[in-house]
Structures are given as structure tokens and as C-alpha cells.
Structure 1
Amino acid sequence: MKTRLICLILTFVMIQVSAQEEVSTTVIKLKDLITHAADAYPNEEPQQIYLLIETDITGVSSDNRFFLEQGVQLLLKRLQPGDKVAIGTYGGSNSTIVSYTEASNSTHILQELQKIYTIENQDADKDGIDMAYQFAKNYFVEGSENKVIMMRNDQISSQAITANASKSKKTKKTREERKEAGQPYKLGGAIAITALSILPEVLEVIKD
């Protein structure tokens, strides 16, 4: 009975520790950051937020610059002064460009955010998503809502789909061309094969 009680207590403690160290996830589109900031904040619970932005090999395009900058700016205004925000990237570039900084220091955060437009294929061999969660866990704050807000970039997704479709079409065309080139039943191939097959007979005729 005593052993069972100890096991139950240990299980309860492990569950509590696990719950305390949990980093939640919110997935939105980059262009929806403004709406998300307006709808989800302010929040009475202290916030520890990691903004994780999907990028291509040249960072974030100028088309999405407005949504990103205005969204981050609105988020910082709606957070409590002591809430903290970090910013990182995944995809084409994988790095943390802003460490956890209090929302009250919005000028510094917005200045550091400008780095996202100049990064080029930084740490491409790393996993930006894994880096973000590891960073969030390393700076986990008990009593706060520790969260990663992952922002997907539709423009990058559509570019990838278009590129893959184009590559697939080109590959298919190349295969068809190779198949046709090696097809023995084309007229030229048929003539060559026929000539080779009757060559012994032709030689016999010449000898005679």
C-alpha cells in the first residue's frame, strides 16, 4: 500500500513538472498576425512569446513586410510591459534574431526585426522549428504562458508548389523524350533494325 502511494505521488509530481515545462503552440498565417494580436491580447497571464517566422532563402519578401512589421508593432502595444518576446526564423533561414526582450522595449525589438530582410540562407542545415522550441524551453518562465507563435508564409508555399509542378513537368517531358529517342519502333529505328536483320541475306546475294 505504501509503495503504491509513493508511486502515485511520484506520478503526480512528474505530471506537474511536465505541465509546468510545456510550451504551447499557435499556428497562423503571416498576414493574419495583425488580427491575431488584436483578438488574443491583452492577456492577464504573463506572456513569454517566441515569434517563429517562415522565410525563404532571402528572408521575408517586401510583399509581407507590412503585415510583419505592423503585426509585431501592434502585438507589442497590446502586451503588458513586462511580457517578453523573442523572434526567430525557419525555412530558408534558421536563426534567433531577437532574444527574449520586454515588450516595453519595443524600439529595440523593431530595430532588430529589420535583420530579417537581409538574412540569406543562414544556418540552412539547421532546423529553425527545433531551435525555437529549444530556445523557449531554455528560457521557460514558471507562472507565464510560454508560447511559440508559428507564422506560415503562403507566398513561400505557393512558390514551392509552382516550382515542384514545373520541375515535375520538366522531368516528365525529359523522360518522354528519352523514351522516344530509345524507341526501336520509330521509322528510323525500324529501317535500321530491318537492314541489320537482312544483312546476311544481302551478303549472300553479293557473293553469288
Structure 2
Amino acid sequence: MKHLTITFSVVLFSSIVTSQELNIDTKSVSIDNLITFIVDTIDRKTEDSDMPSENITFLIQTPVNDLRTEHIVILNQAFKLVSKRLSEDDSISIITYSGFSGIALNQSSPKDLKAILYAIENLKPSVKEFHDDGIELAYEFTKENFMEDSVNSVIMIRNPKGSRDEEEIVQHVKATKKRTNVVLITAMALLPEIISVIKD
């Protein structure tokens, strides 16, 4: 498990470096706070809006099987809200990580609500090809589908009751914080709950 945690940290670091090179924003939110997060961070666009288009990859942490019913309900409501706030010029994708990793929804219009909700309600069956690391996949996917003159971002939707033991990651950050600041920066970007550990 220690090797897995170290590997996870290295992948996060390399993903952040790649994202910085291509100016891919990274945001992180717990699934329980997702709706509030969308209200606060995704502006509603009007027909005459001059805001740049959005290219968002949603990266959802999953258990080994599909999400629990209450989490599916939250995601359904959240993506309905995303659909209302974004325009036809924007695009969203859905990728999973942790319990199972893969592309559940390729780049789609946020207005294609039927396809989006189907992917949410059938995450595992929607993945055509499973990968070893969903986080790395998300950044590679975003890099390959990078849209010039758009705001390109990865939004990690963390599931605190998912399969990855985040306490192990916290312990790894504690052990390495005196040796490097890179892991700390990565951890702060993707796992806000360990900021308190960094401050100790």
C-alpha cells in the first residue's frame, strides 16, 4: 500500500506539471458540496455573453461498483445545474478514478442532458475501456482535447466514502513534507482536507 501511495503522489505531481504547461486549471470538491461549488464557480452564460468557452473534464471518484443512490441524486442535480449555466459553445467530459477508471462521457455539449444523465446513472457500464489510473487519464484526455481560447479545467469530485484510503495519502504527505514542497502543492490542489496537516 505504501508503494501505491507513493505512485499516486508521483502521478498527481506529473499531472499537475502537465496541466500547468497547457494552462489546465485544477479544482477539487467533495461530492456533498458539489451543488454549492457549481453555483459559486460556474457562471451562468447568456446569449450575448462574451465570456470564454469552457472545456471541463469532471473527474469522479468511485467505489469499486457504481455510486450510492444518494450520490447519483446529487450528481444528477449538479449536472442539470451545469447544463443550465453553460452554453452550446462549452463542452464537458466525465472520467472516473479510484474504484474503476475510465472515460464515462467523451466531450459533449452541456445541453445534451440525456447523454450526461445516462452516463451518471450508469457510470461503470458507460466506461468502454478501463484504465489503471483515472487521474492520469483525465489529464491526458484534457491535454489531447485541449481547446485554444477556452478555459480548460479538470474538476475532481471527491467521494470521502470512496475506495481510496485518503488517510494513507495524508501520512505520505507528513513523511515527505520536509523533503519536498512539490507533493504539498499537489496535495493542496487536489485534497483540500489535508491542508490542516501541512500547517502542523
Instruction: Normalising by structure 2, report the TM-score.
Output: 0.63
Residue 134 of structure 1, CA deviation = 0.2
Partner of 1:38: 39
Residues in 2 aligned to 1:19 and 1:55: alpha-carbon distance in whole angstroms: 26
Deviations 1:150-173 (A, max 9, x none): 01101226x9479xxxxxxxxxxx
Residues in 2 aligned to 1:129 and 1:28: alpha-carbon distance in whole angstroms: 15
* Greater fraction of residues in helix: 1
Structure of larger gyration radius:
1
Select which of 121, 130, 136 maps to 2:142: 136
In structure 2, the gaps of 5 or more residues are 1-18, 45-50, 168-200
Aligned pair count reads 142
Partner of 2:92: 85
Deviations 1:111-146 (A, max 9, x none): 2222216579x73x6100000000000000000000
What RMSD, in angstroms, separates the aligned Cα atoms of the two structures?
2.6
Partner of 1:68: 75
Does the 8 Å contact 1:59/1:119 carry over to 2?
A: no
Deviations 1:43-69 (A, max 9, x none): 622100000000010021123122111
Q: Judging changes above 3 Å, is the alpha-carbon distance between structure 1 residues 117 and 128 closer, same or farther for their aligned structure 2 residues?
A: closer
Identity in percent: 28
Name which of structure 1's ranges 111-120 and 101-110 shifts more when overlaid on structure 2. Answer: 111-120
Does the 8 Å contact 1:59/1:118 carry over to 2?
A: no
Partner of 1:100: 107
Q: Judging changes above 3 Å, is the alpha-carbon distance between structure 1 residues 19 and 132 closer, same or farther for their aligned structure 2 residues?
A: closer
**What one-letter code is carried by the residue in structure 2 that aligns with 1:65?**
I
Q: Judging changes above 3 Å, is the alpha-carbon distance between structure 1 residues 119 and 107 closer, same or farther for their aligned structure 2 residues?
A: closer
Residues in 1 aligned to 2:95 and 2:103: alpha-carbon distance in whole angstroms: 4
Select which of 155, 165, 190 maps to 1:149: 155
The structure, 1 or 2, with the larger RCO (C-alpha pairs under 8 Å, 6+ apart) is: 2
**What one-letter code is carried by the residue in structure 1 that aligns with 2:159?**
N
